[in-house]
Amino acid sequence: MFITPGAKAETIKTGLKYPGLQHQPDQGDNRGRLFQAARRFLRAQFGRPTGFWGNVVGRIMARTPSNNDRIHWTLSLLDVKPQDRLLEVGFGPGTAIELLSRIAVEGCVAGCDHSEVMVRQAAKRNAKAIRDGKVILRLGSASDLPVFEKSFDKIFTINSIHFWTDPIDCLRGLRTLLRPGGLIAVTIQPRSRSATDAITQLIGEEIVTNLEKAGFSHCRLEIRKTAPVSVACALGIN
């Protein structure tokens, strides 16, 4: 079967789309096939780190200043208290988990991630807190959530929702783990050279709409201006 160049280009573009977003951060970016292949590989590794390169990606995530900035900002919006029970979906190398374990000293910090590599890295980083019973890490995902004994006061996810195949259904699942009146925070900073503050706004509004469709109330959008592009955090009450 003959495939036209235009059809090939469309196939490549479709393969690069984030499944969890209608508004893509890199609309109109049609650079060469080698660049597209490299970007596809990197997105796959950052979405679900595996093997040798997954370990490298985890170290990058742990040391990148912008990642730490997003974590601190998100936690400030959650207004974490010492007695809070918190869940992070997609904890990566576990840097947010480590920080939270020092704040929620009378509560509990849990996390789930679908990458075995990240679970190992995060478990190593939080080994003492896990031994002390302050941190619980599970292998799982937003679409296949682990079972936890108690509900959570606050749930958050950072630069993860765009990888979810059915974000509304996943958010509904998270509602079942959140106590009535509990708070959810979904943070995202578009990672693309062509991303703009306007795209961040559109994606943030899209996530707010998804939270409402999933059954959350009092949903709102917070925007933080930063380089190279602003960060969005959608919040809602269960």
Residue 8 predicted with pLDDT over 50: no
Helix then strand then coil, in percent of the chain rounded to 5, is 45, 20, 35
Three-state SS at 231: strand
> What homologous superfamily does CATH list for 65-237?
Vaccinia Virus protein VP39 (3.40.50.150)
Mean pLDDT of the chain, nearest integer? 87
Q: Could you read off the pLDDT of 92-104 as tens digits, one per residue?
A: 999 999 999 999 9
CA atoms within 13 A on the CB side of 84: 25
Residue 237 predicted with pLDDT over 60: yes
Q: Could you read off the pLDDT of 131-149 as tens digits, one per residue?
A: 999 999 999 999 999 999 9
Q: Could you read off the pLDDT of 74-93 as tens digits, one per residue?
A: 999 999 999 999 999 999 99
Residue 28 predicted with pLDDT over 70: no
Exposed e or buried b for every residue in 132-171, given b needs 16+ CB within 10 A?
A: eebbbbeebbbeebeebeeebbbbbbbbbbbbbeebbebb
